[in-house]
Amino acid sequence: MGNPKHTEVSVARQSPQRPDADEPELDDTTGAVEPDEIEETDSPSVSIDRSLWDELRIDPVEIALPAGTGFTLRAYRPASSLTPTDVTERDQDDPFLARRQAIEEEEEDDETVVILDEELAEEFAAEDEDESKRRRDGAATDAADDESDADEADDEEVPVFLSNRGKLLLFKTPESLVSFIRSGAPNDLSQLDSWNELSERVEPADIAPLDEDTYELDLVVENLRGGHDTWDSTLLIEAGEVARDLSYALRLPAVLDMLSAGSSLDDLDEALRATANGGIGAFMGRRRLKKIGAQTASLGWRTIVGKISAVVDWRD
């Protein structure tokens, strides 16, 4: 992700007012104190060691949802090197999805053909042969195009989270996250070649997500309800980024569609980015924002947050 090697965390510090060399400082209990006896209160900045995450190319992530805040892990790898999470069991537990799949199967099984006589049978056979030839020719062309597109897609780095069977694993404390990593329990990140080393080296103190890896999805809907003047660009842009990552990694096509190019929520994202970048683009971005309905945006994001929350497996 291009994270810096070290992130400096400022510690509260105040430089004392040093007295003039000729005027010793007075102490309430002991009287005059010589300048060389004054205690230095400056503290050096505390540095968080990022070498583990940079080396293994995995990052700790913190996500806040209406049900609480939890820690997880995320990595980016070429799509060709990853096996997508298995959502079979998760989708079977969804009664609405199961019903829709049953209806589709019934419609596929209901396709019957009645042959009335021999002449019609020959006519159907000839038409079927012509149609089959057209399909073969078209399939050959499509296959060549698909192969080219697939090669490009395989080279693209895509997100993968600490998940299992289509469920995002969220841990309420760094200690519980580290305990899981060391346990050897099945998860989608274990397919990474750096996973075993992480399980041997990670400590609870390492679970310190960067600001850019901290997401507050619990605040999005309320912020959007406040109206255009209160919209927080950083909050909403970062929410869009993690929602896209989660919907891809957890295989949530409905969420991907809602955030896809040309959608109203994608227009919101682009307008927010324009306002954040400043310049003439910011002016145009603000004009575009005014055309986006606050109610529509908040309802859309409420659906997204709800769908993501539904596939979270909370761990203590």
The tens digit of pLDDT for each residue in 259-272 reads 999 999 999 999 99
pLDDT confidence bin for 304, thresholds 50/70/90: very high
Q: What is the mean pLDDT of residues 50-74?
A: 97
* Confidence (pLDDT) at 128: 66
pLDDT confidence bin for 282, thresholds 50/70/90: confident
Return all residues near 164 (Cβ < 8 A) that are at least 6 apart.
Answer: 85, 185, 186, 187, 188, 313
The tens digit of pLDDT for each residue in 218-247 reads 999 999 999 888 999 999 999 999 999 999
For the chain, domain boundaries: 61-96+158-315
Q: What is the mean pLDDT of residues 241-254?
A: 98
The whole-angstrom separation of Cα 83 and Cα 33 is 69
* Confidence (pLDDT) at 140: 61
Amino acid at position 87, single letter: V
Alpha helices (H) along the chain: 51-56, 88-92, 95-109, 118-155, 174-183, 195-201, 220-225, 233-249, 253-258, 264-277, 279-290, 294-310
Q: Which of 65-69, 133-137, 271-275, 290-294 has the lowest mean pLDDT?
A: 133-137
For the chain, give the percent of residues with pLDDT over 90: 56
The tens digit of pLDDT for each residue in 139-180 reads 666 665 656 555 565 689 999 999 999 999 999 999 999 999
* Confidence (pLDDT) at 53: 97
Q: Which of 108-117, 180-189, 211-220 has the lowest mean pLDDT?
A: 108-117
* Confidence (pLDDT) at 63: 98
* Confidence (pLDDT) at 290: 86
Is the confidence at residue 12, as pLDDT, over 50?
no
pLDDT confidence bin for 11, thresholds 50/70/90: very low
For the chain, give the percent of residues with pLDDT over 70: 66
56 vs 135, residue with greater confidence: 56
Is the confidence at residue 124, as pLDDT, over 60?
no
Is the confidence at residue 87, as pLDDT, over 90?
yes
Q: What angle do CA 170, 301, 102 make, to 5 degrees?
A: 80
Phi first, then psi, for residue 167 (nearest 5°) are -115, 130
Q: Which pTM value belongs to this model?
A: 0.70
Q: How many C-beta neighbours within 10 Å does residue 191 have?
A: 12
Mean pLDDT, the chain, as a whole number?
Answer: 80
* Confidence (pLDDT) at 29: 47
